[in-house]
Structure 1
Amino acid sequence: MGSLNTETGTDGGPALGNIGDVAVIGAGISGVVSAAHLLRAGLNVTVFERTGVVGGVWDYNPQPDRDPPFPNVRPPSPHWEDVEEEGLTSDEVALRHGPPTPCYAGLKNNIPTPIMRSSLLNWPESDEELVEQTVVAKYIADIANLYNIYDKVQFHTRVESVSKPKGDSQWTVETRTFSRAGSGHTLTKRTWKFDAVIVASGHYHVPFVPDIPGLSTWKKLFPGRVTHSKQYRTPAHFSNQTLLLIGAGVSALDIARESAPLGAKIIQSRRESKFDVLASALPEATERVAMVSEFVVDEAAADAGPQVLEKGQSIPGKIILEDGKVLEGVDHVVVATGYITSYPFLGDLEQPFVSWQDADEKTLITSDGYITHNLHKDIFYIQDPTLAFIGVSHLVSTFSLFDFQAQVAAKVFAGQVRLPPQAEMQQEHKERKAKFLPGDKFHSMFATEDAYIEKVLSWVNGDLAKAGVPLLPGLDEKWHAHYKVFKDRLKNNRLGAVKED
C-alpha cells in the first residue's frame, strides 16, 4: 500500500484536489448516491457491480446464496479462483461470481420512509411509511436513471483487488467480468487505474455463524433443517413447524412475523443486549429463551450420517441453553446472527487473525469482522483518504445518512473541503477506540446521527464558506422532525435496528 497521496494545505491538512477518475464498488443505495454526487461534482465515475442490477440488498432473487461454512466467525480468505473450478455449470459460476443478496420476498424497510431518503429524489407520494421491497428497489433504480448512473456501471463485474503500489499515485483495480456466451460463459479479467476509490459494497455478503458446540454437526446431519437467515426467502416451509431462531435482529423479527401466521411455533434464542429493542414487535406467542450453549444429536441419528427428515419429523436431538433449560422437538433452526464485514479485495488491509485491539494504523478489518478501523468520520481511510467508504455506519437512517456521507466524500474529492491533518485524524480515531467497550457496536449511531451530521457539517461548511461556494445543506427540517419522532420510538422500545444498504 502506498503512502498518503495528497497535497498539504496551509492548515496542515491534506487537500485532495487532483482527483479525476473515481471507482465506486457496489451499486446499492450507497454506490448509486456516491456515483451521483461525484458526477455532480464534475468527476469521472466507474461503478463496479457483481450482479446484473442496481439495488444492493433490496434486489430480490428467489435463488438463495450457497450455505456458508458452519461455523463462520472471521473474515474469510478470498478464493477468487472459485469460479474456475472444473465441472461447474454456467449457473453455478454465476452464483459464485455474483451471489444473491439476503433479500426475502416479504422484506420491508423498518424505519419510516421520511427519514430514509436520498437528497437526490423524494419518495413517491404515499401515506405508507413502511413499503415493500419492490418499492425500495424501484426508488434506487429511479435515482440511477435520473442521474444516468446506468451508463457508468460495469455489471456482472467483481472487484478482486484494489491496491496502490509504493510510489504509484493511482489505485490499481483488478476485476473479472462474467458473461454468458451461447450455452456457456466467459470470464474476462481487466486492470484499471483510478485516482480514488469509494467502497460501497455493504456488509450483507458473508454470514456470521457462531461456533456453538454441536451446531456444525446438526448442519452436517440435517442440512435442510439448519440454515442461516441469508438463505431465507419465504416462510412456506415453516408452516406448522417449531422454529428456533438464533439472534434478535431484524431478520429474526421478520422471519418470526412471517412464519407465525402460518402456524409456526417460534422460539427465539438470544443474548441480552441494549441493542435488543425488537421484543415488542415479535408475534405474541413467541417464546424468548436464553442463548444456546450446545446442540446434542441423538446417538442413533449421529450414526446414520447426513439425512433428509420427513415432513412432521422433528430434528432428533436436544438443545441446551445457557440457563440450563433443554429444548426438544425443534423442526428447523435459523441462525440469524448477522454478517461479517469483509473487503477481500483490499488485500493485507484485512487481517482476519488480528484482534480488534491489536489493529495497527494501516489495518481496516480484524478478526471481529465488524469494526472498519482507521476511518475518519466513518468515511475516509486515514492512511490514504483517496480510499473512502460509504455505508459503514450502523443503526442509522441508512439512505439519508449514506447520501449525506456521499456528499461529503464528493466535496473532499473535488478539493473543496480539506481533511484535518493526518495526526489529528489518527488521534481522534484512537480516542474513539479507547471509549469502545466489548458488547458495543463501534459504528453504531443509535439515535445520535443527528449530532454526527451537525458535527460533520460544521467542519465541511467551514471550508466551503472560506472558499465562497454554496454550503452543504445537510438534512432538511422534515427529516429532523421525523427523526425526533423516530428517536422517541426507540426510547419507548417500539422500533429498533435498521436494514442497511
Structure 2
Amino acid sequence: MESSGGFTQTIHQKNAKTICIIGAGAAGLISLKTILDTHQYKSGEWKPTVYESRDRIGGTWVPSPPSDNPPLTALYDSLTTNLPHPIMALPDHPFPPSTAVFPCASVVQKYLENYADQFSLASHIQVSTNVNNIEWDGHRWKVTLSTGQGPHFDLVIVCNGHYRIPRYPSIPGIKEWLNARRASHAAWYRRPYDLGRTILIVGGGPSGQDISADMRETTTTVIHSVTGAIPEDIGNLKRRGRVTEFRNGGEVLFEDGTIESGVDFCILATGYEFSFPFMSDSLIHSGYPSTIPPLPRNLFNSTHHLFPLAKHIFPLQTMFPPTSIAFMGLLTMGSAFPVMDAQAQAIVQAFANPHILDPTQEMINIFSRYEKLYSQSTDPVSIAKNWHKVKPREQFNYRDDLYRFSAASGIIKFREVPEWQKEAYDNRDILRKAWVEVVRRGEADTWVKGVGEGGPHEWIDLLNRLQQWAQESLHIPQPSLERHVLQREVNMTT
C-alpha cells in the first residue's frame, strides 16, 4: 500500500502547476534553478520546462558565425567581461579558483554549463526547440513550439534575452550607407579585418570600445563616435562626438560641426531592441504608451522598454493576471547575473503567493519613476531609453528590495547585497584598467593562481590589492571610495 506521503505527492504531481521558461541563457538557467530549490517543486506541485531554440545552453555566450540574419549571437572574439567576476558571479556559484579577474566569453559559457551541471538542470531543458507563439486562453497559456503544438502552461517566465535584434540609429544618410554596404551593425562583427584605411565606430558602450581597440590593430585610422565626447586624437584613434549625418563619398558630419572625410566603412555598435516575437500584438502593443497617469490597460513594447511592469518584471495590464507571466533580465547597466538571481527569487514568491504583489503600490512606484524621468525630459523616447537603465547604486537597492519582497512570506531568509560588492562595482573601471596592464605585462596567471581555493574572501582581498597597485604603481587617480572598506570585508569573511 502506498504511504500517505506518497499518495499526497502523487496528487500534487497530477495537479502540478506547469511553468514554461523561454530560453536557456543565464536568465533561464537561474530561473530554473531557483524553481528547483522551492518546496513546491520538491513536493511535486510545480513542473518547470525550459525551451531553448539553440542546440546548447548559454544564450548569448554561445559563439556562432555571423551567418544568420540577424546573427544568433553578437559575441565577438575579443569580448571579456566588463566587471570583475567576483561581483558578477551568482551568490551560490562562484567562478572557479584562478579564474582571470575579467574572464573571456568562453570562460563565462563554461561557468554557465558548470552551473547547470552542479544543480542538475539538464533534465528540465529541451534544446533545439523554439517557442513560436504563446497566447492567453482566459485561464492558462497556450504554447506553440517549433516541434508542433505544445502543452498549456499555468505560468510563463520570459528569458529570451535582448541582444539579438540590431538597433539602427535614425541618422540622415545611414540607410544609403547600409544599402551600399559601407556600414553594418556590430552584431555581425567577430574580429578585426581589412575594411579600408579609415573606419568609423559609432557607439560608446562596451562593444563600441572593444571594437575600436580591435580595429586600431588592422587599419590606419579609427574614428570612435560617442555622444558628447570631446574631440581628441590619440595615435591612430580619433575620438569624436555624435554623428549627425552620413554623406556621399565617405564624408561624415559630427555634432560639433566637424567633418571627417574618406571614411571607408562604419560599424554601428548602437545596441539592440527588445523583441518578443512569440507574443502577438494583442498581448504586447508596439510603440510608446500615452503620458501617464493613468496606466495603459495594455502592455507596450517600445523596443527600448516594456511598459508597465511591476518591479521591471510583472506586467500590470488587464488581459491576464500580472503574476501569471514574468520577464527576466530587462534591466541594463547593472551586474546582470546577481540582478537576475534576485528577480528569480521574487518571481517564485509571486508565483507561489500572488497576493503579495500589491498592484496599487506598484502603480505608485511606476508613477514616481515616470515623474522623475519626465522631469528630465518630456520626450517619450528618452523616457523609454532610460526606463530600465539603472544608475550604479540603484541596482543594489533594487536587489535588496527584491530580496525583501521574496522574504515577505517568511520562507526565504532576507539577504542583503554585501558592501564590498557595491564598492568594487563603483571602482570597476579602475580595476579593469589595472587588469589590462597586468595582462599586458604577462603577469595575469601569477596574480590569480590559487585565488579562491580558500574561500570567497580571497577574491575580495585580490580586488583590494589590485586597486591599491593601480594607485601606487600605475598612478591611477584615487577612487571615489576608500580601500579600507574592502579590507573590512576581507576581515569579516576570513
TM-score (norm 1): 0.73
- Distance, in Å, in 2 between the alignment partners of 1:409 and 1:149 is 18
Provide the C-alpha distance between the structure 2 equivalents of 1:190 and 1:219, rounded to a whole number of angstroms: 39
Corresponding residue for residue 111 of structure 2: 139
Q: Does the 8 Å CA contact 2:56/2:127 hold for their aligned counterparts?
A: yes
Give the SS at the match of 1:190. strand
Which consecutive residues of structure 2, in runs of 5 or more, have no partner in the other structure? 1-14, 435-494
Q: Which residue of 1 aligns with 2:95?
A: 123
**1:242 aligned onto 2:218:** no
* Match of residue 484 from structure 1: 423
1:172 counterpart = 2:131: no
Name the CA shift for 1:445/1:33 in 2 (closer, same or farther; >3 Å): same
Question: Structure 1, residues 223-282: CA drift from partner, whole Å, max 9, x if none?
Answer: 2x31100000111235x7311011111110110122213344211123229xx9xx99x9
Cα 1:421–1:400, aligned 2, differ >3 Å: closer, same or farther? closer
Q: Deviation per CA, 1:315-338, whole angstroms, max 9, x where unpaired?
A: x33122233222111121001110
Deviation at 1:470, TM superposition (A): 4.2
TM-score (norm 2): 0.74
Q: 1:375 aligns with which of 309, 325, 345?
A: 309
Q: Work out the CA distance in 2 between the residues paired with 1:432 and 1:394.
A: 16
1:113 to 85, 89, 92: 85
**2:209 matches 1:253:** yes
2:359 alignment counterpart: 422
> Does the 8 Å CA contact 1:120/1:143 hold for their aligned counterparts?
no
- Structure 1: give runs of 5+ residues left out of the alignment: 1-17, 68-98, 177-187, 298-315, 496-501
| Match of residue 61, structure 1, among 50, 60, 64 | 64
1:30-429 alignment runs, 5 A limit: 30-41=27-38, 42=41, 43-66=46-69, 99-126=71-98, 128-165=100-137, 168-176=138-146, 188-221=147-180, 223=181, 225-238=182-195, 241-272=197-228, 285-297=236-248, 316-348=249-281, 349-355=283-289, 357=291, 360-367=295-302, 369-383=303-317, 384-415=322-353, 418-429=355-366
Q: What does the per-residue CA deviation read over 1:161-184, in whole Å, with 9 as the maximum and x for residues that have no partner?
A: 22212xx321111121xxxxxxxx
Shift of residue 456, structure 1, vs aligned partner: 2.6
CA contact (8 A) 1:319 1:327 kept: yes
C-alpha displacement of 1:473: 2.9
Contact 2:102 2:432 (8 Å CA) reproduced:
no
With a CA cutoff of 8 Å and minimum separation of 6, indicate the structure with the bigger relative contact order.
1
Q: Counterpart of 2:415?
A: 473
In 2, Cα distance between equivalents of 1:122 and 1:408? 21
2:391 corresponds in structure 1 to 446
Contact 1:19 1:414 in 2 (8 A): no
- Tell me, yes or no, if the aligned pair for 1:47 and 1:152 is still in contact at 8 Å: yes
- Over 3 Å counting, the alpha-carbon distance change for 1:319 and 1:126 in structure 2 is same
Q: Distance in 2 between matches of 1:458 and 1:120?
A: 18
Q: Percent identity?
A: 27
Output the CA distance in 2 between the equivalents of 1:493 and 1:234: 21
Distance in 1 of aligned mates of 2:429 and 2:295: 35
Q: CA RMSD in A?
A: 2.8
Aligned to 2:371: 434
Distance 1:343 1:118, change over 3 A: same
Alignment deviations for residues 81-140 of structure 1 (CA, whole Å, 9 cap, x no partner): xxxxxxxxxxxxxxxxxx511011121111110111113421101252111111000111
- Provide the rounded CA distance (Å) in 2 between the counterparts of 1:360 and 1:350: 14
Is 1:356–1:371's contact at 8 Å kept on the other side of the alignment? Answer: no
